């Protein structure tokens, strides 16, 4: 099978971790007779340096023309002084909107080999951490009106807005995801305060009638943040709006031991998805061969599974990661006593060789 993949290497450690993911994809292609063609696209700080824009239209067009997009990381202190509408992160918002990827799916799963790395008590970890946060990605306060003005003093406003149709389409993703797992869906909002959350809750309960096999529960976002730490085993699938999902998914990643291990997928109405690790560009270790490429490698596995309908190939990558961890190899962020410290490039090679 032939697939065209737009590759956004990005900033900081982005190029290093993407290189290792491509190394693994090349091994999969060789084993199964696929052809993966890579088209480089610039986004983030590197695009600002090159074009004066965090995501020029011609670079977005490359992504829209591809079968899917693999992204490393963008941003860094080098670009802290640029105007707000030109920051590297604006490229992320623009590509999500441009590709129409309204559903971000981020697994929170602890690998048995890294159980000791979780900050949670062992008795909590033993119960299991294996849930997915389905986050609405192109609506809400991040995409609402933003303005700052003066009325005797500076005043800023950021508008959170959701329509029934926006809630319904992400709600269906939540229900369908739960249907493929343990059939439990927790809808997270702030309906005791926000009108948008009251609409969210009403739409979710209307949809529940179409999914009688899925158990729907409601939880306020502040309680959910506490429960993720107190008893993560209670969750199967969490569905929530953009800002809440941003915060909760970052929290969930930390209880698994390292953000370097967590992939994510962003999908919309087509199979052209955006796949990226959840961590940032880590400029403090860029170019030092210290980064953990596993989150990016697992993101590539998600791309094979959800966009290319290659479940066996995705399984091979995930099994290879597990094998390498069983062998005791660790990058610095997941290093523990008695393990073998390895660099970014060697980790990618070990995983590719294990396929």
Give yes or no: 102 in active site.
Answer: no
Write down the pLDDT at residue 225. 98
CATH superfamily of 1-104+259-355: Isopropylmalate Dehydrogenase (3.40.718.10)
Catalytic choice (11, 42, 236, 246): 246
Catalytic choice (23, 27, 90, 142): 142
Fold designation for 119-255: Isopropylmalate Dehydrogenase (3.40.718)
Q: What is the pTM of this model?
A: 0.88
Give yes or no: 316 in active site.
Answer: no
Write down the pLDDT at residue 272. 96
Radius of gyration over every alpha carbon of the chain, rounded to an integer in angstroms: 20
Q: pLDDT tens-digit profile of 29-83?
A: 999 999 999 999 999 999 999 999 999 999 999 999 999 999 999 999 999 988 8
| pLDDT over threshold 90, residue 85 | no
Give yes or no: 142 in active site.
Answer: yes
Mean pLDDT of 206-214: 98
DSSP H helices, the chain, are 14-32, 45-51, 57-65, 88-99, 122-125, 164-179, 195-208, 221-230, 242-255, 294-306, 311-326, 344-353
Q: Quick check: do 1-104+259-355 and 119-255 share a fold?
A: yes
Q: Percent of the chain at pLDDT above 70?
A: 100
**Which residues, in sequence order, are CB contacts of 27 under 8 Å at separation 6+?**
352, 353, 355
Give yes or no: 326 in active site.
Answer: no
**Residue 54: both structure tokens together:** 């965090």
Q: pLDDT tens-digit profile of 164-200?
A: 999 999 999 999 999 989 999 999 999 999 999 999 9
Ranges of each domain in the chain: 1-104+259-355, 119-255
Catalytic choice (49, 61, 222, 284): 222
Say whether 351 sits in a helix, a strand or coil: helix
What CA–CA distance (Å, rounded) separates 72 from 160? Answer: 29
Minimum mean pLDDT among 96-105, 111-120, 294-303: which range?
A: 111-120
Catalytic choice (109, 183, 190, 201): 190
Catalytic choice (78, 130, 250, 323): 250
| pLDDT over threshold 90, residue 86 | no
Give yes or no: 61 in active site.
Answer: no
Mean pLDDT of 269-291: 95
| pLDDT over threshold 90, residue 14 | yes
What CA–CA distance (Å, rounded) separates 191 from 187? Answer: 11
Mean pLDDT of 317-325: 97
Minimum mean pLDDT among 12-16, 104-108, 258-262, 290-294: which range?
A: 258-262
């Amino acid at each position: 099978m032939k697939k065209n993949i737009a590759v956004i290497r990005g900033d900081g450690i982005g190029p290093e971790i993407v290189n290792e993911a491509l190394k693994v994809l090349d091994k999969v292609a060789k084993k199964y007779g696929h052809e993966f063609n890579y088209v480089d696209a610039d986004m983030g700080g590197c695009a600002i340096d090159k074009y004066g824009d965090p995501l020029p239209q011609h670079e977005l067009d490359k992504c829209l023309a591809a079968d899917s997009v693999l992204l490393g990381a963008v941003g860094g202190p080098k670009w802290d002084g640029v105007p707000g509408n030109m920051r590297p992160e604006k490229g992320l918002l623009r590509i999500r909107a441009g590709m129409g990827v309204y559903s971000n799916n981020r697994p929170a799963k602890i690998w048995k080999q890294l159980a000791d790395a979780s900050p949670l008590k062992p008795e909590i970890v033993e119960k299991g951490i294996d849930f997915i946060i389905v986050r609405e990605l192109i609506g809400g306060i991040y995409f609402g009106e933003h303005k700052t003005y003066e009325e005797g003093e500076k005043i800023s406003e950021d508008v959170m807005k959701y329509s029934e149709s926006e809630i319904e389409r992400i709600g269906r993703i939540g229900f369908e995801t739960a249907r493929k797992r343990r059939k439990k869906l927790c809808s997270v909002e702030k309906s005791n305060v926000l009108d948008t959350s009251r609409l969210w809750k009403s739409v979710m309960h209307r949809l529940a009638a179409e999914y009688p096999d899925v158990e729907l529960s409601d939880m306020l976002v502040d309680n959910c943040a506490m429960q993720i730490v107190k008893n993560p085993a209670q969750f199967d699938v969490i569905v929530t709006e953009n800002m809440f999902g941003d915060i909760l998914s970052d929290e969930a990643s930390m209880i698994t031991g390292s953000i370097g291990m967590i992939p994510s997928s962003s999908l919309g109405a087509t199979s052209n998805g955006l796949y990226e690790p959840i961590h940032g560009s880590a400029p403090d270790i860029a170019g030092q061969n210290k980064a953990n490429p596993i989150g990016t490698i697992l993101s590539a596995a998600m791309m094979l599974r959800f966009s290319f309908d290659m479940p066996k190939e995705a399984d091979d990558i995930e099994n290879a990661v597990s094998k390498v961890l069983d062998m005791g190899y660790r990058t610095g962020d997941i290093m523990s006593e008695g393990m073998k410290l390895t660099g970014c490039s060697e980790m990618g090679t070990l995983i590719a060789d294990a396929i």
